[in-house]
Structures are given as structure tokens and as C-alpha cells.
Amino acid sequence: MIRIFVTGGTFDKKYDELTGSLSFDDTHLPEMLRLGRCRVDVSVRTLMMIDSLQMTDADRALIVEQCRHAGESQIVVTHGTDTMVDTARALANASLGTKTIVLTGAMVPYAFGSSDGLFNLGSALSFVQVLAPGVYVAMNGRYFDWNKVRKNTQTGVFEAI
């Protein structure tokens, strides 16, 4: 059984046609898992639905505690890309021991035709099943140890440091 914690981010942004702006509503995760014909046993829980630039220390503490108390040893966290590495660090510093935690996100909302979300979800769900315990970021088809990655804000690409 794999646990998926949803925190929002570009992954789940939708277009609000009355205001003409981007907003959050329900997560697209169940629909994405259905589209991927995913038969891994997963349990999805939405912790928050926010832009990761708005994420506070209290939000991160909540994510850490949810990961700590989850019964599953394999956890995927969907997250905005801007501060994904910060949350990865918070999780790593919490010493969650024997758990494999993979953070992923998207550069373009799933609801857009051109989203990388489905690719990234397939990638994160796969990495979490085979990587050793630890905290990782899965983006651009690659995985990175939490402390060896940064988002290049000029290119939008995650790269090793």
C-alpha cells in the first residue's frame, strides 16, 4: 500500500472561468490514477490545497507529522515545485526512519492539455516502490536525494547539485 498526500501546487490548479484566474478545487489525483489504469494499492489524502509559495512552516510541520504517523512505508507527496526542496528538507530533518518518501509535482496543471503531471505521477509512484528509505524529489523523469537537488528557476528544470 502506498500513501499519497496531496498538498496542491501546479498539479492541481484549475482555471476558474468566472474569475478568469487560476484556483484550487478538488485534487485531480483520483482521475489521474484512473487514467493511468493504476493498479497499485494507493490511499489518497488531501492535506492542503495551496500554491507552494504560500506554504508556511506550520504547513510543513503538518506534512511531516502526517508522514510520521502514516501506516504506510512508501509515501508520495504532490507539491508545488517552487518550494518542493524545502519541504523535502523538512521531511529529511524529521528522521522518519524506514520510510521512502518521494515528492513530485508538475510544471503545468494537469487540467491543461500539455501537462507533465501524468508522466511525473507515473514516475514518482514507480520510484517510491523501489528506492531505499529516504526522502527524494522525482521530477523530469529523474529522482534526486533531497539534499542534492534544486529547481533552476530560469529553466524550470530540477537539476543535481
Residues facing 151 on adjacent strands: 158
84-93 and 57-69 helices cross at what angle (nearest 10)?
Answer: 50
**Which residues, other chains included, contact 142 with Cβ-Cβ below 8 Å and sequence gap of 6+?**
158
133 scored as a contact of a second copy (CB under 8 A):
no
Annotated active-site residue in 10, 27, 81, 100: 10
156 scored as a contact of a second copy (CB under 8 A):
yes
Phi, psi dihedrals of residue 22, rounded to the nearest 5°? -85, 140
Considering only residues 7 to 46 of the shown chain, the ones binding a second copy according to CB under 8 A are 10, 15, 17-18, 20-22, 32-33, 35-40
Count of residues that interact with a second copy, criterion CB under 8 A: 53
Considering only residues 73 to 112 of the shown chain, the ones binding a second copy according to CB under 8 A are 80, 82, 107-109, 111-112
**Is the Cβ of residue 93 or residue 129 nearer to a second copy in the bound state?**
129
CA distance linking residue 68 with residue 112, whole number of Å: 33
> Least CB distance from residue 127 to a second copy, whole Å?
5
Contact 109, 74 (CB under 8 A): no
Residues in the chain: 161
CA distance linking residue 1 with residue 3, whole number of Å: 7
83 noted as active-site residue: no
153 scored as a contact of a second copy (CB under 8 A):
yes
- Terminal CA-CA length for the chain: 32
Q: Using CB under 8 A, which of 48, 66, 122, 150 touches a second copy?
A: 122
Residues that bind a second copy (CB under 8 A): 10, 15, 17-18, 20-22, 32-33, 35-40, 51, 53, 80, 82, 107-109, 111-116, 118-127, 129-131, 138-143, 153-154, 156-159
